[in-house]
């Protein structure tokens, strides 16, 4: 078990220290009463001296005391478990909250460079495993340690010589448990990582099942799954095999302890040093003393697994968040539509240059179209304008202010985005349209849907605007999803717009209507239109032609056609 993780777990437990103290008190009470029971049993044995020499009154009195002790022990154990459950589930709730909160502030670079399933696995599966190990650790580790210490005190009070036999054999049990535990940590870590791989693959296959079936990728996916499954089986088997050796090994040592006590105690009883009742009490203690070692060894295994999972969760929580807004960053209330790029350079990976020394000046209300082949940097430019990524060099200026001097939230609030990739949350149609303004009155939601030409198909849905959309809009066509995303922007019209392939999934007839709505929407607003279909951008004030990360041509549709350059070739490839 790694000290670093243990420290972090204790820091998480610190707010619930009062429950921890209560748990320890109940554990001590429970153990003390459990250890008092053999003394009562021993006393009862001594009252049964021989045939016809039984002190029934004394035995009944001891039985009454024993019944009270058993009831109180059960109560103390129940209260201890209650405290342990409270600590565990509150700590786990805190960890999940921290992990989910971190997800909200992680830079897009992290999200883009990690598989979604792997991230989901850390927040859900690994936290679950951590929770199970922590609960077991609390429940059995406390009582185990207190039982060992308490039993030693009780044994020493009866007979020091026999107690020494027990104490001398004990280190063997501890050595065996720690030897195996050290080796199982890395195995459980490998198990956790392989499990995350599997979650990632399953997540990918479930989300893309139509594509998988359409391209006959099922068998290949199955082979991938089998390969990961085999690896998971192998690492799980090794982890569980090595961890399960601990229990039988410590049980063997326990057998030695019991034998040692039995032989030494028998000779002591024969020599009159202890009574038969005390010997029975001692044997009971020998059992109770060694039992926690078994429990602790299995707990150590669970804790190894828990700590391996905790490590992955803590690594996620400690990921560097998105660079915070500058201390003197201002809130951009209402952008005036002026936008400027000065000598901007950016690349996702330093060794692969993308945007190089980009310059651009946009006036308020201008419609800027961005065209170019796939991978030329069109969407990257949008990511930089929205500050989803920060530029490597140069400056982006919005309304006379450098974007790094504006808070991200207020900058993004001044842009309305409709993307090619649609995203809808699980909820009603109305909730999805009003995603940016949840308290919007119904009339405004309907007006936005009408403007986006979504009202007719929404009206035909089973519950209209109250129809619940499945996760990621599973019960809608791609075109319908895109119309809802357009309605979302129509409702919350900011001073600047970004339309990235916004009508790519819509039929031509509806697209003509949407184009009209867009022109209405763009009136007086600075707009960026990314499009492959050049017919949609003829009306733009300025067309930027991009290739390999640079703006190679700039001008109106007619100017660019007259120039007969790269744009002309693009245009002709579509219309000639």
Quote the CA–CA distance of 514 and 495 in Å, as a whole number.
19
- 339-575 in CATH: which number? 3.40.50.300
pLDDT at 79 (0 to 100): 92
Q: Where in the chain is the domain with CATH 3.40.50.300?
A: 339-575
Cα Rg of the chain, angstroms: 35
Show pLDDT as tens, one digit a residue, over the chain (576 residues).
456 777 777 787 888 888 888 888 888 888 888 878 877 877 777 777 666 666 778 778 888 988 999 999 999 989 988 888 888 888 888 888 888 888 887 777 777 777 776 777 778 778 877 777 777 776 677 777 778 888 888 778 777 877 787 777 777 766 776 677 667 777 877 887 888 788 878 877 776 776 777 777 778 888 888 898 998 888 888 888 877 777 777 777 778 777 877 888 788 878 877 777 777 777 777 777 777 766 666 677 677 777 778 888 888 888 777 777 777 778 877 778 788 888 888 887 777 777 778 788 888 888 888 887 776 777 788 888 888 888 888 888 888 888 888 888 888 888 887 777 777 877 888 888 888 778 888 888 888 888 888 888 888 888 888 888 876 656 677 778 878 888 888 887 788 888 877 666 667 776 776 777 777 777 788 888 887 666 667 778 888 888 776 778 888 888 888 888 888 887 777 665
Q: Which fold has domain 89-317?
A: ABC transporter transmembrane region fold (1.20.1560)
CA-nearest of 568, 515, 576, 518 to 545 is 568
Q: Is residue 434 a contact partner of residue 445, using CB atoms and an 8 Å limit?
A: yes
Report pLDDT for 308.
Answer: 76
pTM for the complete prediction?
Answer: 0.59
**The predicted structure's pLDDT at residue 51:** 65
Delimiting residues of CATH 1.20.1560.10 domain(s) in the chain: 89-317
409 CB-near residues (< 8 Å, 6+ apart):
none
**pLDDT at 1 (0 to 100):** 47
Phi, psi of 363 (to 5 degrees): -95, 160
What is the per-residue DSSP string for 367-417?
A: EEEEE-STTSSHHHHHHHHTTSS--SEEEEEETTEEGGGB-HHHHHHTEEE
Confidence at residue 538, expressed as pLDDT on a 0 to 100 scale: 74
- One-character DSSP codes across 422-433: ----SEEHHHHH
Which residues have C-beta within 8 Å of that of residue 81, sequence separation ≥ 6? Answer: 139
Q: How far apart are CA 67 and CA 101, in angstroms?
A: 51
Q: Render 244-275 in DSSP notation, one character per residue.
A: HHHHHHHHHHHHHHHHHHHHHHHHHHHTTSS-
Secondary structure, 3-state, 476-525: CCHHHHHHHHHHHHHHCCCCEEEEECCCCCCCHHHHHHHHHHHHHHHCCC
CA-CA distance, 406 to 47, in Å (whole number)? 87
Residue with structure tokens 């996620």?
Answer: 316
Report the alpha-carbon angle 386-389-391, nearest 5: 100
Structure tokens at 70: 């058993």
């Amino acid at each position: 078990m790694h000290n670093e993780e243990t420290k972090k777990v204790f820091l998480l437990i610190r707010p619930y220290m009062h429950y921890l103290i209560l748990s320890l008190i109940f554990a001590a009470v429970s153990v003390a009463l459990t250890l008092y029971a053999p003394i009562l049993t021993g006393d009862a044995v001594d009252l049964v001296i021989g045939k016809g020499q039984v002190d029934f009154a004394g035995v009944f009195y001891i039985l009454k005391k024993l019944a009270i002790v058993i009831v109180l022990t059960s109560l103390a154990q129940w209260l201890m478990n209650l405290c342990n459950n409270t600590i565990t589930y509150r700590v786990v709730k805190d960890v999940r909250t921290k992990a989910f909160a971190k997800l909200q502030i992680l830079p897009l670079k992290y999200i883009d460079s990690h598989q979604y399933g792997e991230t989901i696995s850390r927040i859900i599966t690994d936290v679950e495993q951590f929770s199970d190990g922590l609960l077991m650790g609390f429940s059995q580790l406390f009582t185990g340690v207190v039982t060992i210490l308490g039993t030693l005190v009780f044994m020493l009070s009866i007979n020091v010589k026999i107690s020494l036999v027990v104490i001398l054999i004990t280190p063997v049990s501890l050595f065996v448990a720690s030897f195996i535990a050290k080796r199982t940590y890395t195995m459980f870590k490998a198990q956790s990582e392989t499990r995350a791989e599997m979650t990632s693959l399953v997540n990918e296959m479930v989300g893309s099942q139509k594509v998988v079936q359409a391209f006959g990728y099922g068998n290949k996916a199955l082979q991938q799954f089998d390969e990961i499954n085999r690896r998971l089986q192998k690492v799980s088997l090794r982890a569980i095999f090595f961890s399960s050796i601990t229990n039988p090994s410590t049980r063997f040592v326990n057998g030695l302890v019991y034998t040692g006590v039995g032989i030494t105690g028998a000779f002591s009883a024969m020599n009159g040093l202890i009574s038969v009742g005390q010997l029975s009490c001692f044997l009971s203690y020998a059992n109770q003393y060694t039992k926690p070692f078994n429990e602790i060894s299995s707990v150590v295994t669970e804790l190894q697994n828990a700590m391996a999972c905790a490590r992955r969760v803590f690594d996620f929580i400690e990921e560097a968040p998105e660079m915070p807004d500058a201390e003197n960053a201002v809130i951009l209330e209402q952008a005036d539509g002026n936008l400027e790029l000065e000598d901007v350079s950016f690349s996702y990976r330093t060794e692969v240059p993308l945007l190089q020394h980009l310059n651009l000046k946009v006036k308020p209300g201008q419609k800027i179209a961005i065209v170019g082949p796939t991978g030329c940097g069109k969407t990257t430019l949008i990511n930089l304008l929205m500050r989803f990524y920060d530029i490597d060099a140069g400056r982006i200026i919005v309304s006379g202010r450098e974007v790094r001097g504006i808070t991200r939230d207020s900058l993004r609030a001044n842009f309305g985005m409709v993307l090619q990739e649609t995203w809808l949350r699980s909820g009603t149609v109305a909730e999805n349209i009003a995603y940016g303004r949840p308290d919007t009155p119904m009339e405004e939601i309907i007006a936005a849907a009408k403007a986006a030409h979504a009202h007719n198909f929404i009206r035909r849905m089973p519950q209209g605007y109250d129809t619940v959309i499945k996760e990621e809009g599973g019960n809608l066509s791609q075109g319908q999803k895109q119309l809802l995303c357009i309605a979302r922007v129509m409702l919350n019209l900011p001073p600047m717009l970004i339309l990235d392939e916004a009508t790519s999934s819509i039929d031509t007839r509806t697209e003509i209507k949407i184009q009209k709505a867009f022109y209405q929407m763009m009136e007086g607003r600075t707009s960026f239109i990314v499009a492959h279909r050049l017919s949609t951008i003829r009306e733009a004030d300025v067309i930027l032609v991009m290739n390999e990360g640079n703006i190679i041509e700039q001008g109106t549709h007619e100017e660019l056609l007259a120039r007969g350059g790269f744009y002309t070739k693009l245009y002709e490839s579509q219309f000639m």
